[in-house]
Amino acid sequence: ATSTMGGDSFSSGAFNDPKHVVSGPGLERTIYSSSIGAAAGIFYGGCAAAWFPDPVESVGKFGGASGRTSFRALGQTVLRPAMWFSFAAGAFTATECAMEAARNETKDVWNTLAAGMVGGAVVGLTNGRPQVVAATAIATGIFMVALDLTGSKTVFDEKALDHKRMGLLPETHKESAALSALKSQYPQHKNL
């Protein structure tokens, strides 16, 4: 039995369903992905702020209390990754939507390549060097195309994985013929 989640256009419906297809107008999809990127960035920034036991400090014009975490520095540590994650996700989705509208093709590898390159360029902009921006754009574009072509699944036999995750065990354990033969051959280990 699967429980259903909310019935909005972003939800696939079933709780265990790994397919999460976001559909709708381009602006809606861009805002949605930017919001998800911002949430992921806030999580990353929070982890980065909490990683070291040292206080998060910033150097101000007028000094300040040394050894204490300032709210401004904590905000920068948490919100800067949120901004970049949001920009990267929004740039990817906006480019993919623009490519879909311009080419009148959805679910196309070329849309994914262009969107991946733009999203990768935004990620590369965090460094600021043009070589890094270009390399990150190309690598992310190729990675997104590979992901689009192969799918988001990491297993080949989905039925076996589903049985492994959700399958039911019998009420009583039944031994195989090979195990019974081994137990009769080695009676000192029959209770293992």
Kindly report, residue by residue over 12-26, the tens digit of the pLDDT.
455 455 555 667 888
Record the tokens describing residue 192, joined without a space. Answer: 């293992």
Compute how many other C-beta atoms are within 10 angstroms of the C-beta atom of residue 121.
20
What pLDDT score does 81 carry? Answer: 93
Residue 14 pairs with which residues in a beta bridge?
Answer: 4
Q: Model-level pTM? A: 0.66
The pLDDT value recorded for residue 192 is 74
> Which regions in the chain score pLDDT beneath 70?
1-22, 55-69, 152, 169-170
pLDDT of residue 102: 92
The predicted pLDDT at position 57 comes to 66
According to DSSP, residue 106 is labeled: S
What is the residue whose two structure tokens read 């939800």?
A: 11
The token pair at 70 is: 């300032």
Nearest 5°: CA angle at 69, between 65 and 73?
105
Per-residue pLDDT, 69? 65
User: Is-contact 17 2, C-beta < 8 A?
Assistant: yes
**Per the structure block, which two tokens stand in for 28?**
């809606």
Q: Which pLDDT score, from 0 to 100, does residue 139 have? A: 96
Q: And the tokens for 88?
A: 């990267």
Residue 14 has a pLDDT of 53
